[in-house]
Amino acid sequence: KIAAEAAPAKTEEWTTVERVGWDQKDREIEYYVFIDGVGGAPKESVCVNISEWSVEVRVRGLNGKNLLHRVPRLYDRIRPDQSFWRVRKDMVQMLLYKAGTDRWEKIGFDSRRAAREAAMQENMRKGDAGGGLMSMMKEMWEDGDDETRRTIARAWATAEQKKARGDTPGQI
């Protein structure tokens, strides 16, 4: 007699969901993952994991597909104990409570922001706060649109005029 060989483990295939939307208030982020027909899926097939730094949505077997949406590193920390989610007709809606009140520029981690903050902290440690500010202004100029550049140019011109007149900062 020959013993039956175990079938090799079949790995599951996951299709990435990229249709998302979000909005924010001072202390919360509303995050939407759009999945057609998810509201009709059995409750046990929808799994949402919300952690301090990430979110993940998994839907098993919806129209023959396993669907996955993941933000492995959020822009900033959230409070998973206060956050929650619910399934709507064609979306999974999450209400994520921020750990702070900073305005998020995007949902995912911003490595440039982290580098900028690290450089500013290093400059503050060295006692050179102006160097960090100049680096930030240079980056805003390079990344900014025309309106941002006009605003920076006006502020710089005004500061130079005040300096030429001998005005001190904060003087009216």
Going from N- to C-terminal start, the domains of the chain cover 15-98, 111-165
Mean pLDDT, range 23-50, rounded to an integer:
95
Give kind and range of the element (H or E) at residue 163: helix 146-165
- Please check whether residue 41 is in contact with residue 90, taking contact to mean a CB–CB distance below 8 angstroms: no
Amino acid type, 21: G
Determine whether domain 15-98 maps to CATH 2.60.40.790.
Answer: yes
Comparing 68 with 101, the larger pLDDT belongs to 68
d(CA 117, CA 95) in angstroms, rounded, equals 27
The answer to whether residue 1 scores a pLDDT higher than 50 is no
Length of the chain: 172
- Please check whether residue 21 is in contact with residue 28, taking contact to mean a CB–CB distance below 8 angstroms: no
The answer to whether residue 41 scores a pLDDT higher than 70 is yes
d(CA 115, CA 20) in angstroms, rounded, equals 27
pLDDT value of position 113: 67
Q: How many Cα atoms occupy the beta-carbon half-sphere of 3 within 13 Å?
A: 3
- Structure confidence at residue 110 as a pLDDT band (50, 70, 90): confident
pLDDT value of position 29: 96
The answer to whether residue 172 scores a pLDDT higher than 60 is no
Residue 97, φ and ψ in degrees, nearest 5: -90, 125
Mean pLDDT, range 107-131, rounded to an integer:
71
